[in-house]
């Protein structure tokens, strides 16, 4: 286990050191779990108050927190400093050197330099794997796939035909890229079409046939994208589904066919984006938000958790609720409901007087 001096740690995080004693650091932990060789991460008020109970001799603290009996490193952005430390102490999943003998690689595939391919990986016809890419066990890359350099695919990743990935892509366990979109058509107008047009379902289509619409487009993912475990992004019907550079996608996210997601977006767990949506740059979609099909969300917008988005919103929108509405309208609505509750309480208080008045008229 590698150890670092407190001065080396300070240099890594770019903080301001107040040294009470020299400390050798071999790990990081919250104050209550820290020992003498641990840097205690006291990033918030609760953790700072736990420092007197800690065995740690050094702590990472927010700027302005100075404790005279403890060696401290003060930083302006504690979570950013924590990220730098985690990268130092992080141990990546183990991948065998070179290509494992159980891997199945088509003779026409092109494998870059310093690529590591684990057990039972399948790589299809004409696929290109970029330099320094690592593919862990039981992953599948279809025909005509192209991956950039320095990618890391965790176990069980499945990538469909002709999907294109940029550099520095991280795909976590069970990611599915480039499956067919959920696209179907019926011989006659179906219940959904009737409901949209007429506002009701008038006919019973007992013999209705549903035909699959094939997806001949694919999926293009930019550079520096990370996709969480068991997330799925479908290929386009005719044109490609696109995910922009630097976008980060959490676990259990579904992005439908033909979607265009911009750069630097944060898409949190259990978000569902229906087909043909356009999401701008730097958009935040919080957990369990649902976006209906053919919706446009402008850049720099924030969609709150569990929002049900059924219409488009311009850039820099902050929306919440189901159906989703601008935050200021939502707050006004909540206030109205609260005021209505108070009015009802007052009415009940004076209701006997009202009844007495009506009886004596």
What is the crossing angle of helices 6-13 and 78-89, to 10°?
Answer: 120
SS3 42: coil
CA dihedral 292, 293, 297, 301 (to 10 degrees): 30
Note whether 249 and 227 are within 8 A (CB).
yes
Q: Establish how many alpha carbons lie within 13 A of residue 303's alpha carbon, considering only the half-sphere containing its beta carbon.
A: 37
Q: Is the dihedral of CA 118, 119, 120, 126 positive or negative?
A: positive
Q: What is the CA angle 344-345-350, rounded to 5?
A: 95
Name 256's Cβ contacts closer than 8 Å, sequence gap at least 6: 181, 182, 234, 241, 273, 274, 275, 276, 277, 293
Residue whose entry in the numeric block shows the structure tokens 């088509």: 106
DSSP 8-state code for residue 146: B
Is residue 87 a contact partner of residue 52, using CB atoms and an 8 Å limit?
Answer: no
Mark out the alpha helices in the chain (DSSP H runs): 6-13, 45-49, 78-89, 191-198, 327-359
User: Kind of pairing, strands 4-5 and 58-62?
Assistant: unpaired
Residue 257 annotated in active site? yes
Q: Are 29 and 12 in contact (CB under 8 A)?
A: no
In the set 154, 172, 257, 294, the catalytic residue is 257
d(CA 4, CA 19): 15
- The dihedral through the CA atoms of 69, 74, 80, 84 has a sign that is negative
- Which residue from 140, 108, 139 is spatially nearest to 125, judged by alpha carbons? 108
User: 355 vs 26, 193, 351, 360, CA distance in Å?
Assistant: 77, 51, 6, 9
> Which positions are annotated as active-site residues?
257
């Amino acid at each position: 286990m590698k150890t670092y001096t407190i001065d080396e740690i300070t240099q890594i995080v770019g903080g301001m050191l107040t040294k009470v004693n020299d400390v050798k650091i071999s790990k990081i932990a919250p104050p209550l779990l820290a020992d003498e060789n641990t840097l205690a991460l006291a990033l918030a008020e609760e953790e700072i108050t736990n420092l007197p109970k800690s065995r740690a001799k050094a702590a990472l603290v927010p700027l302005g927190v100075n404790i005279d009996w403890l060696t401290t490193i003060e930083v302006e952005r504690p979570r950013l400093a924590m990220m730098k430390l985690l990268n130092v102490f992080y141990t990546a999943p183990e991948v065998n050197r070179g290509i494992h003998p159980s891997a199945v690689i088509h003779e026409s595939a092109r494998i870059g330099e310093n690529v590591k391919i684990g057990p039972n990986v399948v790589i299809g016809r004409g696929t290109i794997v970029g330099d320094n890419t690592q593919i862990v066990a039981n992953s599948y890359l279809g025909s005509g796939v192209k991956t950039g350099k320095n990618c890391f695919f965790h176990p069980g990743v499945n990538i469909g035909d002709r999907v294109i990935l940029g550099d520095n892509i991280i795909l976590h366990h069970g990611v599915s890229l480039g499956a067919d979109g959920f696209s179907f058509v019926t011989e006659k107008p179906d219940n959904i079409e009737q409901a949209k047009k007429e506002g009701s379902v008038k006919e019973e289509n007992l013999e209705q046939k549903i035909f699959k619409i094939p997806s001949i487009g694919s999926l293009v993912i930019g550079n520096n994208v990370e996709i969480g475990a068991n997330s799925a992004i479908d290929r386009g019907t005719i044109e490609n589904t696109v995910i922009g550079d630097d976008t980060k996608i959490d676990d259990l996210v579904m992005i439908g066919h033909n979607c265009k997601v911009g750069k630097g977006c944060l898409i949190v767990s259990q978000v569902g984006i229906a087909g043909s949506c356009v999401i701008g740059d730097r958009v935040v979609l919080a957990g369990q938000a649902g976006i209906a099909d053919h919706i446009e969300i402008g850049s720099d917008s924030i969609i709150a958790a569990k929002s049900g988005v059924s219409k488009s919103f311009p850039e820099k929108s902050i929306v919440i609720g189901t159906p989703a509405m601008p935050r200021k309208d939502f707050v006004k609505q909540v206030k109205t409901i609260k005021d209505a509750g108070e009015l009802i309480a007052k009415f009940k208080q004076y209701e006997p007087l009202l009844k007495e008045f009506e009886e004596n008229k």
